Amino acid sequence: MANCLLRRPIYKPAHVFARSITMGKAIRSPLYLASLQLDPVVKTKSFSNTMQRFAFSPVRYSSGGSHVTLWSAERALSLALLGVIPVGLTFPSLVGDTLMAVSVVMHQHWGLEAIVTDYIRPILFGTTVPKLAHGLLLVVSAVTLGGLLYFNYSDIGIAGCVRKIWTTKTKE
């Protein structure tokens, strides 16, 4: 309160107070009158000095790159998956299987990366655990992509596997 012009609270205009008096005696209780008080006026030096950042955590600046571009790429990939998966399963080929493997792994990596970023925060776990979690996510994504590509090149592929599962008959 060092910058206050007045040391006592300012009350609402008289016409507001007069209107409350005409409404009855119950409204003129001390609690109601206290609610009529306004906050004290604060001196301002200049507009740029009054707008200051307030945060409990240190300010983190972007390491570069456009997050809008990444967001757009994630949405474009999600939209492309609506066509890639049905076409890849309908017309099995090595190109279709590889395209499905890469796009599904990219989609799961970006989704899990958002989860790791949101829930394994440095403010809760320190700086080491989030870095380890992101590193583990990279390893899991690389191993998943490697396994799917190996399956595509050395076995029947993703579309062939799905077709085989759909045509499997149970033993009677």
Q: Binding site for heme b: residue ranges?
A: 107
DSSP 6: -
Question: Per the structure block, which two tokens stand in for 50?
Answer: 């009054």
d(CA 160, CA 88): 10
Q: How far apart are CA 7 and CA 57, in angstroms?
A: 33
**All residues at 6 or more sequence positions from 59 whose CB lies less than 8 Å from its CB, including other chains:** 53
Check: CB of residue 131 under 8 Å from CB of residue 74: no
The distance from CA 5 to its chain's CA centroid, rounded to whole angstroms, is 43
* Gap between the Cα atoms of 140 and 144, Å rounded: 6
Point out the annotated binding site.
107, 119
Find, among 100, 68, 96, the residue nearest to 81 by Cα: 100
Q: What is the dihedral of CA 75, 77, 78, 80, to 10 degrees?
A: 120
The annotation places the binding site for a ubiquinone at 119
